[in-house]
Amino acid sequence: MAAFLVVLLAALTRFVPYAVHGVGMNFTAVWGGLLFFGSRRPRWQSAFAVVVLALSDVCLTTLVFGLHFHITSYLVTWAWYAAVCLIGSALLCKPSVLGVAAGVLASSTGFFLLSNFMVWAGSVRMYPHTATGLVACYVAGFPFYLNDLVSTTLTAGALFGLPVVAAKILEAVRTTQSRNEPLS
């Protein structure tokens, strides 16, 4: 149940910056939430996570940005949502620090590379279809990538790390209590 709640909250984090009249610059819990979901749920349930985030894309595009929604503009993004769930399933079914770090890098970096390539490929006006245009597109997206990498690191770190820390604290408390109990 926690994994479903995490995905719903991750989708909502996409709206927070616009609700307070700011610009989010990709500081969301999306990739960390999808990694967590993928690590906790069967692979076929990734469809739920993809649908939730796809609906958030539709709402952001039409209601927040006031643009027309074109499904073809989002197919690569939606495929990446599913891919991140699969990365979570493969790397994090038994989480480790290295696995979480690899998942964070793969999800954020993969999205940065894919999404900026799609922007470059789909827009002749913004970026010319040359190597220089492609580099300019990646350079323009780099601040978003850095924020995305930080937010994914924080989210994944909290989702995977806090339960481990809590378990160690509980173990220490139990050990201390058992030492302090009088012998009968």
**Each residue of 97-148: pLDDT tens digit?**
999 999 999 999 999 999 999 999 998 789 999 999 999 999 999 999 999 9
| pLDDT score, position 59 | 96
Residue 123 has a pLDDT of: 85
Alpha-carbon distance of 156 to 135, in angstroms, equals: 29
Cα separation, 69 vs 101, whole angstroms? 34
CB of 54 closer than 8 Å to CB of 78: yes
The whole-number pLDDT of residue 27 equals: 83
C-beta of residue 50 within 8 angstroms of C-beta of residue 89: no
* Cα–Cα dist 122/36, whole Å: 31
Give the pLDDT confidence of 32-71 residue by residue, as tens digits: 999 999 999 999 999 999 999 999 999 999 999 999 999 9
Residues 6+ apart with CB under 8 A from 137: 116, 117, 119, 120, 126, 127
User: Residue 100 phi/psi, 5° resolution?
Assistant: -65, -45
**179 — pLDDT class (breaks 50, 70, 90):** confident
Q: Which two tokens stand for residue 177?
A: 């209590």
Q: Do 159 and 36 contact (CB within 8 A), yes or no? A: yes
- Which residue has tokens 């989010």? 24
